[in-house]
Amino acid sequence: MRLVLAMLAGALAAACTVQETRTVVPAARVDDACSAYGYVPGTEGYRICAEREAAARARGRMAAGYAVSRLEADAQEACLSYGLTPRTERFDRCVRREMDYRRPM
């Protein structure tokens, strides 16, 4: 009888236990381009954008003789690779930012 009561008490205690899981996404930095382009941190689109932007940053600035037209085309190509739609405010903002990153120093 004691064993049954002990098991019943244990089962009741386990049934009353609450386990809560929370996903915490850190706040976006002010200079976080992907958030500025409208991607939500923690989403797949944001992850892809961040990876591609990091790769573009790793390539660095262009040489001083780099043609402005080529600079703009590369910036547009990068923004397309982030999944942005051409001729939107987000796309235009992205192109401006990418061109700034690519301008020779």
Reported as a single tens digit per residue, the pLDDT across 5-59 is: 777 777 766 666 556 665 544 444 445 778 878 888 899 988 888 888 777 777 6
40: DSSP letter? P
- What is d(CA 79, CA 93) in angstroms, rounded to the nearest whole number? 9
Where exactly are the structural domains of the chain?
Answer: 30-102
Instruction: Estimate the crossing angle of helix 89-102 against helix 68-81, to 10 degrees.
Output: 130
pLDDT at 9: 73
pLDDT at 81 over 60: yes
Burial of 53 (0-12, 13-18, 19+ CB in 10 A): buried
